[in-house]
Amino acid sequence: MGNEQKKAAAKNTKIRDNGAKLIFDDPILCAEFLRGYVEIDLLKNVQPENIEDISERFLSMWQEGRDSDSVKKIHLPENDLFLIAIVEHQSNVCYDMAFKMLRYMVLVLTDYETEQEKLHAGITKTKDFKYPPILPIVYYEGTSRWTAVRNFHERVHLSDVLGKYIPNFEYLVVPLTSYTNQQLIEKNDELSLLMLINKLRNSSDFAELQDIPPEYFENLSDNTPEYLLRVISKIITVFLSRLNVPKAEIGDFTEKIERREFTMLFDSFEAYDVQETRRISRAEGAKFHLVKLICKKMKKNMAANEIAELFEEDENEVQQIYDVAIRYAPDYDINKITEEVMNQSSQNI
């Protein structure tokens, strides 16, 4: 991977991290995630007010200094107990995730032990002292299947021999792309809209979202709190920027969200990739220049192979242009020749 590709990959990872941080920082979106996507009965009735964010305690300890990962203290409804959820955001498969989670769990439990000692000196040494349960979760946005081992036990040599003496736990994976658009629409909540847009891998995929039923948008318009509309706009701005959608298009899209015009979201929304458009424009310019040079030599009765050798161009490419241009002789309309050559090239991709 070249330096430019590495920079682009790092930029995309940072963009995804920012989007994930905004999602899990918000109590409503986090509650929707735990209720609707984690599939653990104990969390089915979790509300925003049950969630306490304690991530800041661990920012300096996260690997690579990432702040998109979250630690939530979840007070269980109708229960005096709580559990702690570690939500690790990933865009790529991480084969060391089982050990990372073990390390995070030890950090969180050590913090809990220290906190309890400050409240009640010596309590952690008593017979009845217990630690809170920790639920390790990976929110995975990658397109390939998650193939990393989920149980730490399987990452240790001789675990089949030493059995119960090796730490034995699994982390839970919530893979974004495992949900179909229809499944997300049936969730009928704010997070599902964000996940629908986050699933997009290029701007042309927006066509798939134009058939969302109006009642889905009506529910969002009627029930989404004002502040959350602004949060959703920020998150969608992050996601659309990743797709290189022009700022003006993004602004128009997010303004409709903040004005609760959900049913009009995809009206006249082209969502074209501005960088791809620039790349195509440069390619067309280069092709136009080459066509012009070839046509000049054709007027002097030079053959395709001679022109290719003269300009040190690929002979097949020159022959393709030559075959098109000869039909426009003797005037050689450069614009029409270029357009036809570009169309042929796009059909052959």
Pick the closest to residue 2 from 10, 233, 143 (CA basis): 10
Residues 245 and 289 in one domain: no
Residues 135 and 67 in one domain: yes
Residue identified by tokens 């809209």 is 193
Residues 257 and 325 in one domain: no
- pLDDT value for 183: 96
- Of 234, 264, 294, the residue at which a domain comes to its end is 264
Is 269 among the domain residues?
A: no
Residues 327 and 257 in one domain: no
Residue 10 has pLDDT above 60, yes or no: no
- Of 264, 297, 318, the residue at which a domain comes to its end is 264
Residues 208 and 247 in one domain: yes
Tell me the pLDDT tens digit for each residue of 257-312: 999 998 888 765 655 544 555 566 677 778 888 898 899 899 989 999 999 988 88
In the structure, what pLDDT confidence band is assigned to residue 16 with cuts at 50, 70 and 90?
Answer: low
Residues 121 and 146 in one domain: yes
* Higher pLDDT, residue 203 or 255: 255
Total number of domains in the chain = 2
Is 113 among the domain residues?
A: yes
Is 272 among the domain residues?
A: no
Rg (CA), the chain: 28
Residues 242 and 283 in one domain: no
- pLDDT value for 202: 75
Is 271 among the domain residues?
A: no
Question: What is the residue range of 324's domain?
Answer: 277-347
Is 270 among the domain residues?
A: no
- CB burial class (10 A; 0-12, 13-18, 19+) of residue 165? exposed
- Of 264, 287, 320, the residue at which a domain comes to its end is 264
Residue 13 has pLDDT above 70, yes or no: no
- pLDDT value for 80: 77
In degrees, rounded to 5, the angle at the alpha carbon of residue 94 between the alpha carbons of residues 93 and 100 is 150
Is 237 among the domain residues?
A: yes
Across 173-188, average pLDDT: 95
In the structure, what pLDDT confidence band is assigned to residue 9 with cuts at 50, 70 and 90?
Answer: very low
Is 18 among the domain residues?
A: yes
Residues 161 and 53 in one domain: yes
Residues 194 and 288 in one domain: no
Query: Reduced to 3 states, what is the DSSP secondary structure of residue 79?
Result: coil
Residues 249 and 287 in one domain: no
In the structure, what pLDDT confidence band is assigned to residue 255 with cuts at 50, 70 and 90?
Answer: very high
Is 154 among the domain residues?
A: yes
Greatest mean pLDDT among 92-106, 209-223, 247-261, 263-277 lies in: 92-106
Residues 41 and 156 in one domain: yes
Across 124-130, average pLDDT: 97
Residues 151 and 286 in one domain: no
